[in-house]
Amino acid sequence: MRVLAVLPCGKKKIWDKIPDVGPMKVEDVYIGTLHRLTRHYAEIFADDWVILSGKYGFRSRNEMIKEDYDITFGMKSADVVSSNTLMNQVVEQGLNRYDQALILTGKKHQQVIHAIGGITKDDRYPLLGTKGIGEMQQRLKQAIDKKQPL
| Residue 121: Cβ-neighbour burial (10 angstroms; 0-12, 13-18, 19+) | exposed
Residue range 71-83: average pLDDT? 83
The residue extents of the domains of the chain are 3-144
pLDDT of residue 108: 83
- Name the band, by pLDDT with cuts 50, 70 and 90, for residue 71: confident
Cα 83 versus chain centre, distance: 16
Instruction: Check whether 76 has a pLDDT greater than 80.
Output: no
Residue range 15-24: average pLDDT? 93
Instruction: Check whether 62 has a pLDDT greater than 80.
Output: yes
CATH architecture of 3-144: 3-Layer(aba) Sandwich (3.40)
Give yes or no for a contact between 16 and 72, defined as CB atoms under 8 angstroms apart. no
Q: Chain-wide mean pLDDT for the chain?
A: 94
SS3 46: coil
Q: Name the nearest CA neighbour of 116 among 6, 11, 38, 41.
A: 6
pLDDT tens, position by position, 91-137: 999 999 999 999 999 888 899 999 999 999 999 999 998 988 999 99
Radius of gyration of the chain (CA): 15
Window from 8-17, 37-46, 84-93 with minimum mean pLDDT? 8-17
pLDDT tens, position by position, 40-60: 999 999 999 999 999 999 999
pLDDT of residue 72: 85
pLDDT of residue 79: 84
